[in-house]
Amino acid sequence: YTLFFKSYKLNGLFLSIILIFALKPALSTVSYSQTNFLVLFLLLLVYRYSEKIFAGLFLAIAVFTKPYLAIFGLFFLLTKRWNIIISGIISTMLIVLITFLIVGKEPFISYLFNNPIHRDVAAYVFSEEINQSLHAVMLRQNIITLENPLIYTSVVGIILLVTIIILVILARKKLFHSMFIILL
């Protein structure tokens, strides 16, 4: 509401409420206790406070919620907002330290070295149509195999390279809002 609808006053507030509560997918996300809304909320906070050091804290929390959000660090890196990058690093170190102190050494080490990333994923995970990831689509179309993901790695590398080039161009033109949109 504050970011996008504040100028519409009460109508903007009502629209925000309707968008959250009237849309069935939004309610399903909440009822299934998924982290999507938390992540989107954290991204809104990163965007809103992108000029202040709090953005680093919100980005650190977002990365711990969904690790792929680390790509938003590129936004601050390319816009040379070093104070936000430093606050993000300090926030990350504090979160790691607090987690280590609360859960102890064994669970912490187990999480780092015995998590699902290090296990082989069964092929059936990619065969379901509900899995919309690029990896799953390329596997279902027989473009790649689980044993030889070289094409997938190349496609992801090209996408990342093109994205970084576009971000650098936008940063030089000082189109920071457009950079954030590209990262989304």
CA 81 to chain centre: 19
| Residues in the chain, pLDDT under 70 | 1-4, 115-119, 121
pTM (global) more than 0.85: no
pLDDT one-digit tens code per residue, 4-36: 677 777 877 777 777 777 777 777 777 777 788
Q: What backbone torsions phi and psi does residue 74 show, to the nearest 5 degrees?
A: -60, -35
Task: Give me the pLDDT at residue 171, please.
Answer: 92
For residue 168, what are its two tokens?
């650098």
For residues 102-129, one letter each, b for 16 or more C-beta atoms within 10 angstroms of the residue's C-beta and e for the rest, the string is eeeeeeeeeeeeeeeeeeeeeeeebeee
CB 60 within 8 A of CB 49: no
Which residues make Cβ contacts (< 8 Å) with residue 14, sequence separation at least 6? none
Report the distance separating Cα 89 and Cα 96, nearest Å.
11
Task: Give me the pLDDT at residue 81, please.
Answer: 92
